[in-house]
Amino acid sequence: MAQEALTPEEGKKKKGGLLKWIIIVVLLAALGVGGWFGYKMFFAPSPEDPAAQQDAAGDPGKPAEQKEGLIVPLPTFLVNLADPLGRRYLKLGVEVEVRDADAQAALTKYEAKIKDTLLLLLSSKTYEGLSTMQDKVELKQEIADRLNQILGNGGVLRVYITEMVIQ
C-alpha cells in the first residue's frame, strides 16, 4: 500500500512528461505548417504561370505543345560598354531559335542589319545594367524583340546566351 500512493515528486514527474509530449506535438504541427507554407511560396508553380495553367487545363494524357524551331548561331559580339571611362568590354555569344527555315534564311539575308542593331543595343548597356540575372533576362527579350522587328512575323522564338564575358 505504501507503494501505491504517489509521492508529490512522482506526480510532478508525470505532469512534466505529459507537458513535454504536448510541446513536441505542437512543435511538429508548427513545422508541418511552416513546411507547407514554404513549399507553396517557393516551390509550387504560381497560378499566374501560363505554363502551369496550360498543363492544368490540358488533357492529362496529352503533353503540352511546345513550339520548337531551328537553332541558329549568331557571330560573337565584342563591344565597349557605355561606362563613363569606357574601360569595360562585353563579349556575347548568342544563338537564336527561329520558327522555320524561312526565318533562318532571313537571318542570313539580313545579317548586316542584325549585326548593326545588336551592336548598337549592346554598346548602349552599362556594367550595372547587365549585372543581375533579371538584367540578363531582359537583354534576351530585347534581342528577341529587335530580331523580330527585322525579320517580322514573330520568326524568333527564343534567344539563348551561350557566352557572356564582361571585363
* 77 and 145 co-located in one domain: yes
Distance CA 136, CA 140 (A): 6
The whole-number pLDDT of residue 11 equals 53
> How many structural domains are present in the chain?
2
Residues in the chain, pLDDT under 50: 1, 52-65
> Which among 159, 149, 164, 80 is positioned nearest to 117, based on CA atoms?
149
* 74 and 53 co-located in one domain: no
The whole-number pLDDT of residue 122 equals 93
* 80 and 160 co-located in one domain: yes
- Tens digit of pLDDT for each residue in 61-107? 444 445 678 899 999 999 999 988 778 899 999 999 999 899 999 99
Domain that holds residue 29: 8-57
Please report whether residue 65 resides in a domain.
Answer: no
User: Residue for cell digits 569606357?
Assistant: 86
